[in-house]
């Protein structure tokens, strides 16, 4: 289903925010710090534009805002106030707000949002004799409260710190008030990446390049998972090439100590629910990811059935980016996720949160439902170039955190032996 709005994907907004921060620093604009806020900080899949918060004192505020409006990437000024400026660029809208250092914590909460979250906080502040508005926390009579960081802000409202990814204005404030906030997965928990592509299919870089870059990120293991031969990818791995790729992986293993390399594949699920490679070929892989890239005109019920058939295959270990969505462009497939979760648990099949900006799938709400259902979740980069491995994994982690996912629910927070055991358990044999 197509999305009819002017929002831009998180990946594009993140790059826009990073560019704006970089340009402001290079121009020497007077600020102690400039950070992304809004949807980018919450890892929202689609946003209206990039929003920044600059920390500076009153004496330098006007200079900062005027200087930002004159940066080279700015096409025009859309709007301005005494504490903000909004500009258009070739890549989207950028809005920057300024805050004093002593109130930066309240400003961070306010401009990170969501509006529903801040409304809940406003109501709670009133019960404590405080007012929270326009990025400031005040006592009765307009007396400002010093709030240098967000931890202080939430503490003043008798709440534990609420992570930005949870601030959707749903049940996070009640959960915080009741001591029920989850311990969320972080980058430090991730021990490997189980979905990436190389020049054997539509990736830009070699196996060696992807492996060495992954090792620099501190990963203990990776899986090389190129597309199967009938996928929609621009290039794909032919069945007759699989032994040749295995030989290259063996060579890379001998030249890249300190990281385990799994020979995997992202096999397409065909219109009839069968898999693109035969069982004999699939048995030779260390891990098998199954994907649905083409709806073939089928409705959500039939697409769900195709996934269920793949899940019941003893050689399929992970279902990747199940909705096959594209943030700000397409919502993806209308699937019976409850049924998918039920069979995923029943068969011991993991389901993926995909960090590629073009997917971010399963999204936060679906990921939370999956975790609540007891599904084993895997967070992957689905990366096609080495330089983006870390960035796309961070998007995956941010998406998982939006789904209240904890490290104990994630497959690739386990060591390599745990991953091998997960695969072997479904295959019905001992781990190698």
* Shared-domain flag, residues 88 and 36: yes
Q: Which tokens is 115 given?
A: 């509006």
Q: What is the pLDDT of residue 6?
A: 76
Q: What is the pLDDT of residue 4?
A: 41
* Shared-domain flag, residues 191 and 255: yes
Query: Is pLDDT of 313 > 90?
Result: yes
Which residue is it, tokens 């109501």? 123
- DSSP symbols for 108-139: HHHHH--HHHHHHHHHHHHHTTEEEETTEEEE
* Shared-domain flag, residues 196 and 253: yes
b/e code 142-173 from CB counts within 10 Å (16+ = b) = eeebebeebebbbebbebeebbbbbbbeeebb
Rounded CA gap, 362 and 350, in Å? Answer: 12
CA distances from 98 to 42, 112, 332, 355 (A): 19, 13, 38, 31
Rounded CA gap, 355 and 245, in Å? Answer: 25
Q: What is the pLDDT of residue 231?
A: 83
Query: Is pLDDT of 233 > 90?
Result: no
Q: What is the pLDDT of residue 362?
A: 97
CATH assignment of the domain containing 127:
3.30.210.10
CATH assignment of the domain containing 194:
3.20.20.140
Q: What is the pLDDT of residue 1?
A: 36
Q: What is the pLDDT of residue 78?
A: 96
The neighbouring-strand residues paired with 243 are: none
Percent of the chain predicted with pLDDT > 90: 95
The stretch 98-109 carries a mean pLDDT of 97
Q: How many residues does the chain have?
A: 432
* Shared-domain flag, residues 93 and 119: no
Query: Is pLDDT of 280 > 70?
Result: yes
Q: What is the pLDDT of residue 140?
A: 84
Q: What is the pLDDT of residue 2?
A: 38
Locate the DSSP E strands across 213-257. Answer: 221-227
Residue 17 lies in a domain: yes
Max CA-CA distance within the chain?
A: 77
Residue 410 lies in a domain: yes
CATH assignment of the domain containing 15:
3.30.460.10
The tens digit of pLDDT for each residue in 327-341 reads 999 999 999 999 999
Q: What is the pLDDT of residue 13?
A: 97
Coil, strand, or helix at residue 74?
strand
Residue 157 lies in a domain: yes
**Domain containing residue 215:** 187-427
Q: What is the pLDDT of residue 232?
A: 78
Q: Which tokens is 107 given?
A: 């400003």
CB atoms within 10 A of CB 224: 29
The tens digit of pLDDT for each residue in 354-391 reads 999 999 999 999 999 999 999 999 999 999 999 999 99
* Shared-domain flag, residues 255 and 385: yes
Residue 125 lies in a domain: yes
* Shared-domain flag, residues 36 and 155: no
Tally of domains within the chain: 3
Q: What is the pLDDT of residue 430?
A: 37
């Amino acid at each position: 289903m197509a999305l009819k709005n002017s929002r831009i994907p998180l990946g594009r907004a993140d790059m826009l925010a990073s560019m704006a921060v970089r340009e402001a620093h290079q121009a020497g604009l007077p600020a102690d710090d400039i950070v992304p806020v809004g949807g980018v900080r919450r890892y929202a899949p689609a946003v209206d534009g990039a929003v920044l918060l600059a920390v500076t004192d009153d004496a330098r505020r006007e200079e900062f805002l005027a200087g930002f409006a004159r940066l080279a990437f700015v096409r025009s000024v859309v709007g301005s106030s005494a504490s903000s400026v909004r500009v258009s660029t070739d890549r989207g809208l950028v809005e920057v707000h300024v805050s004093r250092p002593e109130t930066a914590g309240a400003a961070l909460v306010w401009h990170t949002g969501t509006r529903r979250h801040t409304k809940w906080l406003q109501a709670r502040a009133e019960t404590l004799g405080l007012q929270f508005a326009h990025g400031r926390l005040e006592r009765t009579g307009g007396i400002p409260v010093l709030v240098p960081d967000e931890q202080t802000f939430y503490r003043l409202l008798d709440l534990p710190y609420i992570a930005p990814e949870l601030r959707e204005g749903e049940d996070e404030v009640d959960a915080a008030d009741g001591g029920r906030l989850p311990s969320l997965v972080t980058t430090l928990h991730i021990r490997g990446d189980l979905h990436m592509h190389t020049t054997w299919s539509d990736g830009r870089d070699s196996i060696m390049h992807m492996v060495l870059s992954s090792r620099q990120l501190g990963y203990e293991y990776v899986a090389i998972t190129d597309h199967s031969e009938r996928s929609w990818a621009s290039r794909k791995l032919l069945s007759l090439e699989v032994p040749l790729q295995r030989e290259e992986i063996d060579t890379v293993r001998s030249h890249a100590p300190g990281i385990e390399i799994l020979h995997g594949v992202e096999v397409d699920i065909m219109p009839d629910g069968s898999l693109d490679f035969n069982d004999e070929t699939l048995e030779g892989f260390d891990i098998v990811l199954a994907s649905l890239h083409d709806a073939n005109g089928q409705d959500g019920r039939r697409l769900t059935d195709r996934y269920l058939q793949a899940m019941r295959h003893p050689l399929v270990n992970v279902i990747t980016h199940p909705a096959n969505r594209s943030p700000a462009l397409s919502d993806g497939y209308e699937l019976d996720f409850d049924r998918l979760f039920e069979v995923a648990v029943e068969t011991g099949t993991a389901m993926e949160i995909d960090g590629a900006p073009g997917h971010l799938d399963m999204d936060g709400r679906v990921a939370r439902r999956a975790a609540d259902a007891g599904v084993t979740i895997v967070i992957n980069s689905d990366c096609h170039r080495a330089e983006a491995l870390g960035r796309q994994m961070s998007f995956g982690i941010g998406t998982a955190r939006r789904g209240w996912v904890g490290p104990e629910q994630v497959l690739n927070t386990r060591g390599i032996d745990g991953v091998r055991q997960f695969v072997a358990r479904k295959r019905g044999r001992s781990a190698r």
